[in-house]
Chains A and B, each alone.
Chain A
Amino acid sequence: MITIRGLHKYYGENHLFRGIDLDVEKGQVVVLIGPSGSGKSTFLRCVNGLEYFQDGEVTVNGIKLHSINRKRPARADREAMRQVRLKVGMVFQQFNLFPHMTALENIIEAPMRVLKVEKNTAINTALALLRRVNVEHKAESYPDELSGGEQQRVAIARALAMKPEAMLFDEPTSSLDPEMVGEVLSVIRDLVNDGMTTVIATHVMEFAREVADTVVVFDKGEIVETGPPEEIFNTPKTDRTRAFLSRILKR
């Protein structure tokens, strides 16, 4: 479903990715872990074209994103990225809800403008999604009237409204107060249990262990180890994985 081959990414002189390969099968749940700054988020953003990369290829559902070595991509490249984004939903660490729209408007905006869904249909879908993420009572609220956990759940509903075939979560609980982490994770858990193809970058190890089919360990822009969760967490093969896990589990 998602294939990444030979991904190279520079930040100026700094060579972050030196040829990354990864495959995500349909229905698979891949969890990215690793220290801050190891490249998990950047990797996710390369998958849906929010971050450009200098070499390599990303294929999503047969649509290819080539290396784009410039700030202003050509029209054809922009359209390819858009096609990828239509297949892949994204949830951000900072929620990024549109502050000038209510929760409901946030959700119906893209289906109406992009998929040309009729307004009543879009509203019905949105209300069902809000029920699914347990914030239907806040449909008419503006983002700054919602708690962080509610905002993130609306953001998930907003991504799901586009009926994506895969979902990317970029540290979805990192800016939440601890008591709100659970409600967001339970929504993601439901989604995973429904068979959604999912890639999650997270620092919550218990959750990684619980939902992942495959855990990918990032360090300094490299994938240092890939494997099923019990293998990564119980019998890590590399020193770098061991060092990371011992640091994070001690906390």
Chain B
Amino acid sequence: MKKSLRVLSLLIGLLAVFYFAVPSQSSVGSLDRIKERGLLLWGSDAEGGAPYVFPDPEHPDTLIGFEVDIADAIAREFGVNARQVQNAWDSLIPALERGDFDIAMNGIEITPQREAKIFFSIPYYVYTEQLAVGKDETRISDINDLSGMKVGTLSGAVAQDILMELGGVDVRTYSGQAEPYEDLALGRLDAVLLDLPIAAYYAKPNPKLKYAGPPVGEGFYGIAIRKEDENLKRAIDEAIGTLLETGELKRIYEKWDMWNETQEKLYLYAKGYERGVTLEEAKQAPIWRFFPMLLKGAGITILISVFSMALAIVLGLVLTLMRMYGRPPLSAVATSYIELYRGTPLLIQLYILYYGLPNVGIALSPIVAAFLGLGMNYAAYEAELYRAGISAIPKGQTEAALSLGMTQGTTLRRVILPQALRIALPGVTNDFIALFKDSSLVSIIAMVELTKTYNILAATTLRFFELGLIVAFLYLAMSYPLSLLARSLEERLKGKKR
């Protein structure tokens, strides 16, 4: 008993460390706070990939990309360091609003809809949309030939709106930018319309793909800033202006092979030349280079799973006791909880917990939201397992205990639960393994665990197969010992009864 208490308090302590390590809403804000902190936190999605923000194939635990360079340059202007905060691309704006980082910069197109919610800096890049098709495509020569075609694009991107407005196009949306080009190369799509820098990284070097027609739909990328941070917006605008004047920005774009005449509209000076990483190089990086990053992801997966399961086991028991032994208001609460959590998707529960609660003033850090989300969901399932276990104990056991003068509490603790938990144990260990795999869902709330790490690396290198096998093996290597442990635990309990 004492030992398990010690372990529990250790776990809670660890959680607390993680909780405080993540910036809370109050510490994020104006320029003064950034300077005080010495850090500019900028949100982006490394899964979005090259050439924006992606892991360096040489050193996968560091991020590179033209936006990394821009963020560093802006931070330098402020006299601070830049730190990337990982967040899914389609929820960058809500995450910015809830205060997860100071600014969001990730190829976010300046649109009136977005400007209604947040500030944009002056543009830092002029993008165009580029249509890409298969090498042997003859039907499609430009954007006007897309009627009835399957066309892939990024969910929530301006390219999606352009396709929608064309009408008659079978639009397929993706959450990552590597996947549409993969599907195009495999013939699952007829064309892909995406921002030129993306096409330049993924489509241009691919011999199976080619560009169709000239770039269309000129627009601007801007840095997103919260509405209440007006002084920060001014400072960012000023910094971009300086980078333009010094030619720093152009150097960055040239390094990434993104410079074109269109950019002349914004940038005046050009000097020097430095080449960025190409897809070919990313594809050829030795696989072992990604191991440290994958192992780190696996560590996060284990951490989340163990904490969440501990919560589920304890909370599940409380729920069962409330449901089976509580008076009507309590038992009704427990029953509703169980039905609600079993009857709604975990994904929705995570979204509400992480993006919904800030609307009512509760901003949880990603790790706490992941821990609570998984734990509270699985608690409902554990509760039902315990209930089945308790129901399986013959009534005579309770009667015998009561007839010996035991109170209901003692009866439960000493007679019913020890037998019921033994019955529930196989189900609980089974759930632990299931939770372990379900933990990949928390990647949607900005937790970079094993699956998310895989997504990011695979999107950059397109090595979905070999990295996929490695990740699958890592999951198996973690869950199989768990199965063995569960089996030996069951054997031991059976042995004790015998």
Taking Cβ atoms with an 8 Å cutoff, the residues of A that contact B are: 48-50, 72, 78, 81-82, 85-86, 89-90, 92, 94, 96-100, 109-110, 113-115, 142, 144-145, 155, 158-159, 162
List the B side residues contacting A145 at CB < 8 Å. 498
Report yes or no: B418 in contact with A100, Cβ–Cβ below 8 A.
yes
List the B side residues contacting A96 at CB < 8 Å. 394, 396-397, 399-400
- A166–B407 Cα gap in the complex (Å)? 20
In the complex, number of A-B residue pairs with CB atoms less than 8 Å apart: 71
- A92–B394 Cα gap in the complex (Å)? 13
A119 to chain B, nearest CB (A): 15
- A159–B406 Cα gap in the complex (Å)? 12
List the B side residues contacting A90 at CB < 8 Å. 399-400, 403
- A81–B418 Cα gap in the complex (Å)? 25
Report yes or no: B405 in contact with A162, Cβ–Cβ below 8 A.
yes
- A158–B497 Cα gap in the complex (Å)? 19
A166 to chain B, nearest CB (A): 12
Residue from the set A89, A98, A109, A114 with the largest chain B CB neighbour count within 10 Å = A98
B415 close to chain A: CB less than 8 A: yes
B325 to chain A, nearest CB (A): 9
Known contacts A94-B396, A109-B414; is-contact A89 B419 (Cβ 8 Å)? no
Residue from the set B408, B414, B496 with the largest chain A CB neighbour count within 10 Å = B414
- A90–B496 Cα gap in the complex (Å)? 27
**A-B contacts, 19 listed (Cβ < 8 Å):** A48-B403, A78-B408, A82-B405, A85-B402, A89-B403, A90-B399, A90-B400, A92-B396, A92-B400, A92-B403, A98-B397, A98-B401, A100-B418, A100-B497, A109-B404, A114-B410, A142-B498, A145-B498, A162-B405
Count residues on chain B whose CB falls below 8 Å from chain A CBs.
23
Given contacts A96-B394, A159-B403, 20 further A-B contacts (CB under 8 A): A48-B403, A72-B327, A78-B408, A89-B403, A89-B404, A90-B399, A90-B400, A92-B396, A92-B400, A96-B397, A98-B397, A98-B419, A100-B418, A100-B419, A100-B496, A100-B497, A110-B406, A114-B410, A144-B498, A162-B405
- A97–B415 Cα gap in the complex (Å)? 10
B422 close to chain A: CB less than 8 A: yes
Taking Cβ atoms with an 8 Å cutoff, the residues of B that contact A are: 327, 394, 396-397, 399-408, 410, 414-415, 418-419, 422, 496-498
List the B side residues contacting A158 at CB < 8 Å. 404
Which residue of A has the minimal Cβ distance to B416? A98
A51 to chain B, nearest CB (A): 10
List the A side residues contacting B496 at CB < 8 Å. 100
B419 to chain A, nearest CB (A): 6
List the A side residues contacting B403 at CB < 8 Å. 48, 50, 85, 89-90, 92, 159
Which residue of A has the minimal Cβ distance to B411? A113
Report yes or no: B405 in contact with A50, Cβ–Cβ below 8 A.
no
List the B side residues contacting A142 at CB < 8 Å. 497-498
List the A side residues contacting B402 at CB < 8 Å. 49-50, 81-82, 85
Known contacts A92-B396, A98-B415; is-contact A110 B498 (Cβ 8 Å)? no
- A49–B401 Cα gap in the complex (Å)? 13
Residue from the set B400, B408, B410 with the largest chain A CB neighbour count within 10 Å = B400
Report yes or no: A85 in contact with B404, Cβ–Cβ below 8 A.
yes
List the B side residues contacting A100 at CB < 8 Å. 418-419, 422, 496-497
Which residue of B has the minimal Cβ distance to A115? B405
Residue from the set B405, B408, B418, B419 with the largest chain A CB neighbour count within 10 Å = B405
List the A side residues contacting B396 at CB < 8 Å. 92, 94, 96
Which residue of A has the minimal Cβ distance to B419? A100
Report yes or no: A159 in contact with B497, Cβ–Cβ below 8 A.
no
Report yes or no: A98 in contact with B400, Cβ–Cβ below 8 A.
yes
A222 to chain B, nearest CB (A): 25
Known contacts A100-B422, A114-B405; is-contact A50 B399 (Cβ 8 Å)? yes
Known contacts A92-B396, A142-B498; is-contact A162 B422 (Cβ 8 Å)? no
